[in-house]
Amino acid sequence: MGGSIMEWSDQGIVLSARRHGESSAILSLLTEGHGRHAGLVRGGASRRQRGILQPGNLVTVAWRARLEEHLGGFTVELLRNPSAAWLDDPARIAALSSACTIADQTLPEREPGESVFNGLARLLDAMDEPGWQAAYVEWELALLGELGFGLDLSACAATGSNDALAYVSPRSGRAVSISAGEPYREKLLQLPGFLIGGAPVGPGDIAAGLALTGFFLDRHLFAPHQRRLPDPRGRLVERIRRADAGEPAVP
């Protein structure tokens, strides 16, 4: 007896692709309606397909399998390659690689989450604009919230006031004001103003934002599984540090 075939179509953002066998690839996508989902792409190791399967690419995808729990196969078509315009911008490429790797390693498999898909899609759009670095930090902050580890930046944990918030407690993930936090500032994380009130990004703010989100990403999503923050994110942090220090960019 032949069982019914499981299949669906969707759009997705490529998170990763790894070679499988002689000519195929295992593709991991963040899809709009089916969450993070993997599938086999036959011929995925070919030159043409490798171009389609680059992280960050927006694709249309059809998935087909005998049973829902099977890996199944993907047929993909390219809709948009955002990184094509950034090939001479190592910082943007590093941010793209970081976002896709973090999403690939932290999002639950096959758990629908349209808001997570839309958040990554908005980040890719924002990376075409000046000021994309702040959008990247905001994406990491939003991802923590989507996965149940959101920070409470609404008011000071000590006073309840929302004035002059400048720190975040590494223990509670709650904001702390300048006055309440001053005696403990060496033990607190900096809270850049652009994350709470739309303040302009000042010198060192992106690095501070990455240190803040990185601390909680590591604590909640990587360390519990004996993993470290992925290397692409480290490269992004280093490029931001160089830019802040006025050092020349390296390819």
Instruction: Kindly report, residue by residue over 181-236, the tens digit of the pLDDT.
Output: 999 999 999 999 999 987 899 999 999 999 999 999 999 999 999 999 999 999 99
Examine the domain organization and report whether 10 and 106 are in the same domain: no
Examine the domain organization and report whether 105 and 42 are in the same domain: no
The whole-number pLDDT of residue 1 equals 38
Q: What is the extent of the structural domain holding 22? A: 6-80
Q: What is the mean pLDDT of the chain?
A: 93
Examine the domain organization and report whether 18 and 135 are in the same domain: no
Domain count, the chain: 2
Instruction: Kindly report, residue by residue over 92-124, the tens digit of the pLDDT.
Output: 999 999 999 999 999 999 999 899 999 999 999
**C-beta of residue 26 within 8 angstroms of C-beta of residue 6:** no
Inside any domain, residue 179: no
* CA distance between the termini of the chain: 58
Cα separation, 176 vs 12, in Å, equals 38
Inside any domain, residue 237: yes
| DSSP symbol at 174 | B
The whole-number pLDDT of residue 245 equals 79
Inside any domain, residue 85: no
Residues 6+ apart with CB under 8 A from 34: 8, 10, 63, 110, 112
Inside any domain, residue 174: no
Examine the domain organization and report whether 24 and 119 are in the same domain: no
Examine the domain organization and report whether 149 and 75 are in the same domain: no
Cα separation, 65 vs 4, in Å, equals 9
Question: Binning pLDDT at 50, 70 and 90, where does residue 251 land?
Answer: low
- Position 46 pLDDT exceeds 70: yes
